[in-house]
Amino acid sequence: MRGYGFDFAPTIDMEAIMQSESGNPRKELTYMKDLLREHGEQMLHPIHTHVQDADLLISGFVSESFVQAVSEKYSIRQINAALQPYLPTRSGAASIAPLIASSQSVLNRWMGQLAERILWSVASETANNLRSKTLHLPIHTAASYTRVKHQIPTIQGFSRYVVPPALDWDKNVFTTGYWFLNEKERWQPSSDIIGFLQAGEAPIYIGFGSMSSSRPEQTVEMIVAALAKTGQRGIISSGWSKSPPINLLGTIMMLDKAPHDWLFPRMAGVVHHGGAGTTAAGLWAGVPTVIIPHMSDQPYWGRRVYELGVGTKPIPRHKLTVDSLAHGIGTLVSDQKIKTEAAVLGEKIRAEKGVENAVEIIESLMR
């Protein structure tokens, strides 16, 4: 952050928070509520103390209700920045958890409204403590918070080719295109990476990013076995799991980190957890994708990748085996239609100007 000219105020240990592999939405919501109860004050402190002289507050999904309270207290304009389509809509394609994914339905919108209430119930205790005890504001009910929330402009940092804009979204909702950071210009690859890429066919990237595993050795062994079964070379990203290099056979490289905009275009395909940013990077690169969703919005991105024909059917983390992973990898390298569709979508996404569009909208809203 500071390398790009931004100051940074740390809050809570996100690595510890992202340790869940439960795949059970109810348990995940309970876990999130417990985390907010335990770490809420630590998270809210920089929001409250660093913004009072700001001209604009831009909130993310997790911080939205807390930033709203500070915005209200100090009369500072707020804009929500969304990386996932979590606003209620009839559109199945634009619903993060639809009842009827294949079509337009009022049931999808009802489900989205229910999800809003559920998410407010997770944050309400911590948000209302901030409002009443620190900011001396009246507390919100679910209805009052939802009403205020929908008055706040939302800019959505994803592609209209991936998430088609819903006709029933509010007029203050804007889809700009993905927000990519050109990292490859500031990064120098090691001779080891260059040598590995030049030593054979394009490899498969496999990495689960921020989804730390409680059993990293077993996960790496599974990946190695699946790559061996398909005869593919691979690059395994250790991510936060800090996986040790187990039996890498000479055709597999364990990589600590590399910018996705440099690495992914050099891959034959990408296999990952389905985080919003990693999914965007794979689609931008125009390479086929297999998503292994763990939690949160990841099942949605897995579904959309499959629906768009640019990747295989997602494999839930608890169903991941050597055979299922090998089948996904085999499909990536053999299905010409998926390769073609991925390349075409990549061209469309690269032509979008998401950052420029977002800046233009923000400046317009500020005027």
pLDDT computed for residue 14 by the predictor: 54
Mean pLDDT of 264-291: 96
Euclidean distance between CA atoms 110 and 120, whole angstroms? 15
Query: Which pTM does this prediction carry?
Result: 0.91
pLDDT score of 7 more than 90: no
Q: Where are the domains of the chain?
A: 2-15+25-178+353-366, 184-351
Q: What is the CATH number of domain 184-351?
A: 3.40.50.2000
pLDDT score of 246 more than 60: no
HSE value, Cβ hemisphere, 13 Å, CA-based, for 64: 26
- The answer to whether the beta carbons of residues 236 and 206 sit under 8 Å apart is yes
Euclidean distance between CA atoms 298 and 287, whole angstroms? 18
pLDDT score of 196 more than 50: yes
Euclidean distance between CA atoms 354 and 362, whole angstroms? 12
The overall average pLDDT reported for the chain is 88
How many other β-carbons are positioned within 10 Å of the β-carbon of residue 47? 18
Q: Where are the alpha helices (DSSP H) in 156-297?
A: 191-198, 216-230, 260-263, 276-285
Q: What is the CATH number of domain 2-15+25-178+353-366?
A: 3.40.50.2000
DSSP E strands, the chain: 56-59, 77-82, 154-156, 173-175, 204-207, 234-237, 252-255, 269-272, 289-291
pLDDT digits (tens, 9 = 90+) for 120-140: 998 999 999 999 999 999 999
Task: Beginning with the edge strand found earlier in the chain, give each strand of the sheet holding 154-156 in spatial order.
Answer: 56-59, 77-82, 154-156, 173-175
Which band of pLDDT confidence, cut at 50, 70 and 90, is reported for residue 32? Answer: confident
pLDDT computed for residue 21 by the predictor: 47
pLDDT digits (tens, 9 = 90+) for 291-338: 999 888 999 999 999 999 999 999 998 899 999 999 999 999 999 999
Domains 2-15+25-178+353-366 and 184-351 belong to one CATH topology = yes
